[in-house]
Amino acid sequence: MIYYFNSACTRAHIEFSEQLSLILSRTDAPKRPIAVMCIGSDRSTGDSLGPMIGYKLSKFCFRNVFIYGSLNNPINATNLESSIKFINQVHENPYIIAIDASLGKSEHVGYVTLAEGPLYPGLGVKKELPEVGSLHITGIVNTAGNKDNLLLQTTRLSTVMTLADIITAGFVETFRQNCISVYPYIQLLPDQLLPQLATS
């Protein structure tokens, strides 16, 4: 089942967080290292959603939750397979959450989607890439069409930024709410403790 959240709604990040928490509570994710793979390219506006979320989440320190992919170090078509292998080597039996931009119906542009099961990166632009994730999240940045690569290039930055803000806020809310019971070791660090990110 795919859940949709309208980023224009003021409670979008709360509703997203509640559903994400519910899904995770039904799995063994709390007992496993959680790897968040933010997939995309910083060279295309529409495809920059994943790296932008990775950049935002990297400003926080999550215990047992590890962020991969950012504006500085994106995970894209060229290194996706090697990144998956790396994460599985570094972490024992990780629970992978995959995040990527997507194209969809015009009425769904600006929506966040959340679903169990793997993500199929590059599917919308006819690329054959390995599937990844036990759970996946997408932000619908533009409409699907015959020239999908061009659509990603001409996507409005405001749409991407809004989606990135909602997904980031939803993640922080999810892990903060569960820090006492399900996620007891998550700690948020202020930006001043991360000068290399604060000045980038």
The answer to whether residue 103 sits within a structural domain is yes
CATH number at 129 reads 3.40.50.1450
The answer to whether residue 155 sits within a structural domain is yes
User: Number of folded domains in the chain?
Assistant: 1
Running DSSP on this structure, what letter comes out for residue 41? -
The answer to whether residue 12 sits within a structural domain is yes
Q: What is the domain extent for residue 29?
A: 2-189
CB atoms within 10 A of CB 112: 27
The answer to whether residue 194 sits within a structural domain is no
The answer to whether residue 197 sits within a structural domain is no
φ/ψ region of 110 (left if φ > 0, alpha if ψ in -120 to 50, else beta) reads: left
pTM: 0.84
Running DSSP on this structure, what letter comes out for residue 125? G
The answer to whether residue 89 sits within a structural domain is yes
pLDDT, position 23: 96
pLDDT, position 48: 93
The answer to whether residue 128 sits within a structural domain is yes
The answer to whether residue 112 sits within a structural domain is yes
In order along its 200 residues, the chain shows pLDDT tens digits of 999 999 999 999 999 999 999 999 999 998 999 999 999 998 888 899 999 999 998 888 787 888 999 998 999 988 999 999 999 999 999 999 999 999 889 899 999 999 999 999 866 555 678 899 999 999 999 888 755 566 667 788 999 999 999 999 999 888 875 443 333 333 433 333 323 333 33
Q: Give the up-direction half-sphere exposure of residue 145: CA atoms within 13 A in the CB hemisphere.
A: 13
Given the DSSP bridges, would you call strands 95-104 and 135-143 parallel, antiparallel or unpaired?
parallel
